[in-house]
Amino acid sequence: MSIIILSIESSCDETSASILKDGEVLSNIVATQDVHKEFGGVVPELASRAHQQNIVPVVDKALIEAGVSKEYLSAIAFTRGPGLLGALIVGTSFAKALSLGLDIPLIEVNHMQAHILAHFIDEPKPKFPFLCLTVSGGHTQIVLVKSYLKMEVIGQTIDDAAGEAFDKSAKLLGMDYPGGPMIDKHAKLGNSNRFKFAKSRISGYDYSFSGVKTSFLYFLKKEIKENPKFIEENINDLAASIQKNIVEVLVDKLEKAASDHNITEIAIAGGVSANSGLREHITNVADKNNWQTYFPALEYCTDNAAMIAVAGYYKFKENDFVGLDVTPLARMPLS
């Protein structure tokens, strides 16, 4: 009998639903919330309201596109956390209600674990064990992946995430939210060696990005004082230089972890994994270290329900279900 999973993702500002059949993604619908742009960041209350408006039509569209009737679903997977609590409540409540109504199992999924398992949607797929650099607006982690459901965080940010560093740097440059893609766009046209900024120097595999943001801020203040049009005249070089700084910090730690653990299977996941500068730098380092690298398709980098479905599929095979008393978790450790 086929395993057909309906998955729901609502951890931040994307409402998404996906249908997966026996490991194959049949549909992956994402509704993005544009309302946050004017505020320069995600407003939790507005995100929750938008999820309430979007979730029913998004799920309906996912079922229709997949050609699947809800009566044939085997289970419902949903993002339990981490994420914005109000947003998670919408997805969790919907999943619980549908699970109860259809009398089918309920599967909780860790959002960060799902980002890593997005690598198992398409070919090529990494071989165990592998290291995954997971980078997003809220998280930056180096994860030792031992199996589909066995993962260990060996390094992570002690303050800001890399995606947050990109977004806040973009805001300082006057770019719209989300700033990360805008930094990447301008960086392609700039000289990445033009400006230098501070890098954190902490031991082990952990990260810190608060220092680079402060360095960037004071650098801009100094230059603008001398030339009010400094940002406007140097926007591409500034974007390229700050992107290079963040990317080098990310990859230097990953390279150290790979060497220490003697691992050459290297994956990258999360929203920032779509960054072209990061992909290019990892590819260059991979050639030097004889790594086999894996990048998810761009549609599976940012938040989406297909990755939740894949995680749910492997948990279904282990009979790893939860009861209707399950509650969302704003903070949810990977392991």
Read off the pTM: 0.94
The pLDDT of residue 39: 67
- CB atoms inside a 10 Å sphere around CB 151: 22
Query: In the chain, what are the domain boundaries?
Result: 4-116+300-317, 126-295
Q: Write the DSSP assignment of 196-245 as a string of letters.
A: -------STT-B--HHHHHHHHHHHHHHHHH-TTHHHHHHHHHHHHHHHH
CB 49 within 8 A of CB 98: no
- Catalogue the E-assigned strands of the chain: 4-9, 14-21, 24-32, 75-81, 106-110, 130-135, 140-145, 151-156, 265-269, 292-294
Q: Write the DSSP assignment of 134-169 as a string of letters.
A: EE-SS-EEEEEE-SSS-EEEEEEBSS--HHHHHHHH
The pLDDT of residue 34: 72
Write out pLDDT tens, residues 33-56: 776 676 667 788 888 999 999 999
Write out pLDDT tens, residues 8-27: 999 998 999 999 999 999 99
**Domain 126-295 fold:** Nucleotidyltransferase; domain 5 (3.30.420)
Reply yes or no on whether the pLDDT at 123 is more than 80: yes
145 token code pair:
């992946």
Write out pLDDT tens, residues 158-184: 999 999 999 999 999 999 888 899 999
295 token code pair:
């990048």
Average pLDDT along the chain = 95
Reply yes or no on whether the pLDDT at 198 is more than 90: no
**Domain 4-116+300-317 fold:** Nucleotidyltransferase; domain 5 (3.30.420)
